[in-house]
Every structure is written in C-alpha cells, then in structure tokens.
Structure 1
C-alpha cells in the first residue's frame, strides 16, 4: 500500500508546473517581481550605484541606446563587478517592463517612457 502511494506521489510531481518560457518572457517576469518588491534600479545613475555597491544580481541593457559612452560604461561596470548582462531590443519595451508607464483601464500600457538600463538588486 505504501509503495502505491509513493508511485502516485511521483507521478503528480513529475508534471510540469507551467509552460516553458523563452528568455524574454522569463526576463519580463523577473523584472515585474523585482519591481513589486522594490528591487529594481532604473537608469544609469541608480544602476551604477547598485553595481558599485556590489548589490547587483542582473543588469539589462537596451540595444537601441544611442549613447555609445553609456553602453560602454554599463558593460565595463558589469564586467568589473561580475554582474550578468542581458540585452533587450528596445528601450521602450524595457521601460514598460520596468514600470515606467501608465496602465489604462483595459490593462494596456500607455505613455511608455524608454529606459536604457535596469538593474535587479540582490536579496529581493
């Protein structure tokens, strides 16, 4: 009887918890949860401060940033402090994921502000 119960428990735990996600969907989920817990630094100034304090876990940089010095600085800071760096295609998309927008009554993002750099803090 105990062996049968163990087999049933193994079968139910082997089922996947959800559908597999791609990298961008997972990143969006991480940024949303981090924003909800106050663990998101938005922009170059806030992001650089968090990285310099060794309190950064992940840095996300927009590929369409038109400031080459900005990109160079963020990449150098991440390399020096061992922070993982991910790239997203659009600053507007990153700004929406970081909460830099208004949400209308239908749940759609309006007045999205672009953001070139977002840093997820450690321990959140």
Structure 2
C-alpha cells in the first residue's frame, strides 16, 4: 500500500519500481545539469553582449564626434568663403562706381561718380 504523504511527488516516487526510480533520478539529474549548463551559457552570452555593446557604443560615439568635427570645419570654411565673397563684391561695386574711362575728363567724371557712390553708400 502507498503511504499517504503531504508531498504528491514523494507519493509518485514511492509507487515506482527501482528501475523506474533510477531512470527518473537520472532524468532529473540530467535536467539539473542541462539547466546549470544553460545558466553558464546564458551568463557567457550576457558577458559577450556587454562587450559588444560597449564596442558599438564606443564606435557610435566616435562616429558622432567625427561628424561634429566635420560640420564645424565645414561651417568655418563657409564663413571664410563668405568673407572673401563679400570683399570681392565690394571691389566689384567700387569698380562699377568708377566705370570705364579712357580720357582724363572721363577719369575725373568717374572719380566724382565714385565719390558720390561712396558718400551715398556711407549714409
């Protein structure tokens, strides 16, 4: 007769034959061993994931820094070009105020015109 206990698993084990009991115990040990191996594998995978994540974050930070440096250099170069263009536009405007001349009279007239342009642009 099977003894009645509070633990149903113990009741099942008591009802088994010795061969069934040995098979069940081997199965349970194998499951525990597989669970332990899975835990170790999971821990190793977590460590690898942390390592790869750190590498990826470092790479992304490097890429972001490179992009920021590139944009800063590009803006600086654009400002320098804008300054050069402004200087050239001013010189062109000065030449346009003078206008073409071939004789002394035309030269004096163009100088008057240039002075008028300079005084009107200063105001």
TM tier, smaller: under 0.3
Please tell me whether Structure 1 or Structure 2 has the larger radius of gyration of its CA atoms: 2
Q: What TM-score, normalized to structure 1?
A: 0.23
Q: What TM-score, normalized to structure 2?
A: 0.23
| Greater strand fraction, Structure 1 or Structure 2 | 1
| Greater helix fraction, Structure 1 or Structure 2 | 2
Higher relative contact order (CA 8 A, sep 6+): 1
